Structure 1
Amino acid sequence: MILIEEANTRQNVYYKYLVDKESGKKTLLKTVEITCESSIVNKVEYCILYDSNMIPIKDAFRFINYNFLDCSPNTKYQAITSLRILYSFLEIFDLNLRELTDNDINNLKYFLRGYSPRGNLITINLNTDRSNTTINTYLAMFRRYTAFLNIENCNLHKISPITTKTFMYGADILVEKNSYVHNEGVNESKTVPMYVSIDEYKKVLDVIAKDYTIREECIVRLMYTGGLRIGEVLGLTIEDVQCRLYKNQDTKKKKKTAFVYTRNRVTDKDYQLAKNLEKPKNRRAYITKNYKQGAGKTSINISLYDKIMEYIDIFHNPNSYNKKDEDKVEDTILEYDFFDEILNPEVKEEYKIKKKSNKSLELFNRNFEKYARADIVDKKANTDENGFPILKNNSYIFINNVGKPLNIISWNKIMREILEKSGLDVDENKREHNLNHRFRHGHAMFLVKELKYTPQQVADRLRQSNPRSAYKYFRLTDDDRATAHDEFSKSLEDSLSKI
């Protein structure tokens, strides 16, 4: 009997052909693994897919590198992952992409779902299970790929004769729509996304005040009170946080107002990119109209602005403090403490500061200059009334203990730790919920439940490309259902008592 098993490494998933002999021992026949390697030519990164024999897949190369030039890294990664699975399936079952039958596509969907049939001749043992929504996402990428290859009469593109009618967003107009035959049915969720409530937000801030620094406070407040995604927060630079006087059109009084600008830079890493905004290919793009108009702008509280400026002033300038030899502390324990000098015990307590050696301080300064510097993209806003630059050097705001920009892996570890200390539920084994995104969802729920925002207003505030995405925040919460049930029960009892 032939046994096909799914296995995985940290970087990839692969499949093993095994012969299960009568003795019960497994003998490896073949390993099917579609690998991806990257190569940089003239400062442009190209991704190359290889089959199990390390032969480049030319069609996949053209599709990934030429069809996704203006797409986000996540979209490109999704394409790579999709083609890995597709070519693994084709190689395992010796199929030709241009000749897939309806039965082959159904088997492909079983393969995606993680269905593991056991037969007399062949047994398949898959570990990864996927939802209908995820399967449809992969099928959409397969259609995009086969259309790119001009494969005629591809069964993946079959349209269902059944027509459904849905309302166009923002207008009472019914639009007819036909779905794909091979798409899986998806039931829309009836509940709101998992979000951080006001009470939970307060608990998180209390934990941060006790055990962490103002860096963690600023990041969490930007996500919850500003509705920013974690990537947008980690990509913020000093230039992006601005405070100015604005005149109230009604009272004619001037008021101090702070804003955060979200925009992408050439210097950004993938985890620092803002979603749905233009990603510049070179620095010349900074002066283009598309880039300037595409920047996001979010108002924030003045107290948060002041806290961010305070963090920058202290944590970006370790040389600004007076050295006290008697206060030397062994360089251990806290990840966030990198100063060589401190002002006083109060500052030390509030910001959890520990002293580092001169060698550590030199490393911090060297890393800061090499890795934390960022492009200045708005020359006009960075010029004072006399024509001099306001900001000589720009840098990413949130940095780690050695002077490099805080990365998403380190932050996710800190975020999980904070939520656990706050008593909030976190996924133990399978990580289904984006812990950072709960704060953005919490921001949206506050807009809906407390400020009574409309779906369009929520979408505008969250800078969502599709306004329909805001609808999920208008679903009933479990508390809403419980309250409605209590009200119904009481009303029913009152009515029965009157009979």
Structure 2
Amino acid sequence: MRVIKEGENYFGTVYHIYKNQVEIRKISVTRVHQTYEGVEYIFLLDSRGKVIKEVFNFINDYCKAEVRNSKEQAASALKLFYSFLEIRDITVQDLDRNEVNNLSRFILGDAIEGNLYQLLLTTKRSISTHNQYLDTIRKFMKFIEVKSDYLFEQTVASISKGGFGLLSHTKTITVNKYKTNVTRHNSFVSYVPKYISLQEFSKVKKFIVSRNSRHNSRDLLIINLMFTRGMRLGEVLGLTLEDIKVHPKDSNAGILILRNRLSDKKDQQAKTCFKVFKKEDYNSNLYTEEGIGYQTITVPAALMGDLKQYIETSRDLLLLSDSVLDNIFQNSIADSLDNEHEPNYYLFLNKNGTPLTAGGFNKMLKLVFMNIGISTDHKNKKNNLSHRFRHGYAMYLIENMNKDISYVKRELRHKSIQSTLQYYNPKHETILEHTKELEKKLLDYYKE
């Protein structure tokens, strides 16, 4: 699969195309200003260095009477437009519904995954810029007399406007709006993968390591627990110091115990474990039965070492301020189940020394995703952020380790196969690869 990354050079934005991590092509649509006989002309050069004639005529002839800022804005919109056309290897005549949707996401700066390539963008644009650029592209399409029905498709919207004063009346008017224009209430629904691939997991880890943050070890540890052990975020955040045990068969490895406590907040609960409502529940037969009251997860030696290291550094008395230490000892206390005479504390802490919340972690994760080009879905939280790592673990077991569904069910601690089957969500490019493999095998069979 080809990977296209956005970058910068002396002339502006450039898109580098890689195949097997080797750059094979560079897309660079360049804006040029040239003065001739006292008149300034603005035009674009494609990646081959040739003038895009229809753009030259549009900006310098059709838009001749407009102010300079308007012509510059038109040049910016069309520069992005022709960059998109080159990336997709299409012409303006090929702008069907699917390509217009892709163009919209491209302008916004959302990561687009196609069947044959992955596009990673770093520049994000506002909704107003998106709509201005699309308006310019529509005007340009009319100028060159090329139709694109979906790009020009309109809908009727009602707007209420009020007058001034207590006795004023509210007037409702109707206006036509382009369907492809984005509002804060109807942004494009883009395809968002339900899981993190092994390659994306590696990118997430590399980006976290590159940050200048004292929480690097904490954040790496959390995503490792989710991706390599299939833990839910709530299960991770609900871990306490007494839930980390040495493995009876290997002193370097460990076992994590997942269970619910009365002291847990909503985002610290183990979803499929027995929920407690009073202290007496801790002594019930259901709470103390493995698989119902609690679950266990085996931790390999390296990950166990990371857990021990994080415990030491996150609670180092010499490195922490008095206020952080006070918060740890007073506000991160968890119910103690193994020894009621010993204090117990939640494992993962925020910068203030209180338990890390799902909101705080997901806020950090969203920034990571945006920086490395992994798309997020604001409308469907099931496809979003932290849970994709657990899905990624399931898909890795299936696609990379060839494990059967029963093995995956046990690793995810599901109660039914039906729950596990929902985790099988191959990406479009994977489906395409499998289809090609099947086609090849069928063709080879008929040749025999």
TM-score (norm 2): 0.53
Gaps of 5+ in 1: 1-17, 28-126, 130-190, 247-253, 322-338, 341-360, 383-388
Q: Structure 2 residue aligned with 1:444, among 378, 394, 397?
A: 394
Shift in Å, 1:208: 1.3
Give the aligned partner of residue 149 of structure 1.
Answer: none
C-alpha displacement of 1:421:
2.3
The answer for the alignment partner of 1:304 in structure 2 is 303
Indicate which of 192, 217, 223 corresponds to 1:214: 217
CA distance in 1, matches of 2:209, 2:435: 39
Name the residue aligned to 1:351: none
CA 413–495 in structure 1, closer or farther in 2 if over 3 Å, else same: same
Show the 5 A alignment for 1:93-112. Answer: none
CA 1:284/1:493 → structure 2, altered by over 3 Å: closer, same or farther? closer
Q: What does residue 239 of structure 1 align with?
A: 242
* Cα contact 2:195–2:383 (8 A) shared by 1: no
Instruction: Please report the RMSD computed on the Cα atoms of aligned residues, expressed in angstroms.
Output: 3.3
Q: Are residues 1:457 and 2:407 paired?
A: yes
Whole-Å Cα distance in 1 between the matches of residues 302 and 354 of structure 2? 26
**Structure-2 separation of matches of 1:452 and 1:492:** 22
Q: Do the aligned partners of residues 128 and 487 (structure 1) sit closer, same or farther apart at CA in structure 2, a change above 3 Å counting?
A: closer
Alignment check: 8 A CA contact 2:194 2:425 kept = no
Cα distance in 2 for partners of 1:275, 1:423 equals: 30
Change (3 A) 1:451 1:495: closer
Give the C-alpha shift of residue 485 in structure 1: 2.9
SS state at 2:248 partner = strand
Task: Give the letter for the 2:322 counterpart.
Answer: E
1:404 corresponding residue in structure 2: 354
**Distance across 2 between alignment mates of 1:483 and 1:435:** 26
Task: Give CA deviations for 1:326-356 in whole Å, capped at 9, x if unaligned.
Answer: xxxxxxxxxxxxx34xxxxxxxxxxxxxxxx
Residue 37 of structure 1 corresponds to none
Counterpart CA distance in 2 for 1:407 and 1:192 is 24
- The aligned runs of 1:267-282 (5 Å cut-off) are 267-282=263-278
Q: How does 1:35-434 map to 2 (within 5 A)?
A: 194-211=194-211, 212=213, 213-246=216-249, 256-293=252-289, 294-317=293-316, 319=317, 321=318, 339-340=319-320, 361-379=321-339, 392-427=342-377, 433-434=383-384
The change in CA–CA distance for 1:19 and 1:214 in structure 2 (over 3 A counts) is closer
Work out whether residues 232 and 273 of structure 1, in 8 Å CA contact, stay in contact via their aligned partners in 2.
Answer: yes
> What letter corresponds to residue 246 of structure 2 in structure 1?
C
Query: How far 1:487 sits from its partner (Å)?
Result: 3.0
**Alignment equivalent of 1:469, drawn from 397, 419, 422:** 419
Equivalent residue number for residue 326 of structure 1: none
Q: State the secondary structure of the residue aligned to 2:303.
A: helix
1:70-128 Cα offsets, whole Å, 9 max, x none, are xxxxxxxxxxxxxxxxxxxxxxxxxxxxxxxxxxxxxxxxxxxxxxxxxxxxxxxxx89
Q: Distance in 1 between matches of 2:398 and 2:441?
A: 27
Q: Which string of whole-angstrom CA distances, capped at 9 and with x for unpartnered residues, describes residues 270-320 of structure 1? A: 110110211222223222221111101011221111111111111123x2x
Matched residues in 1 for 2:369 and 2:161: separation? 47
Could you list the runs of 5+ residues in structure 2 that have no partner in the other structure? 1-159, 173-184
Q: What percent of counterpart residues are identical?
A: 30
Write the distance in 1 (CA, Å) between the matches of 2:186 and 2:282: 42
Secondary structure in structure 2 of the residue aligned to 1:312? helix
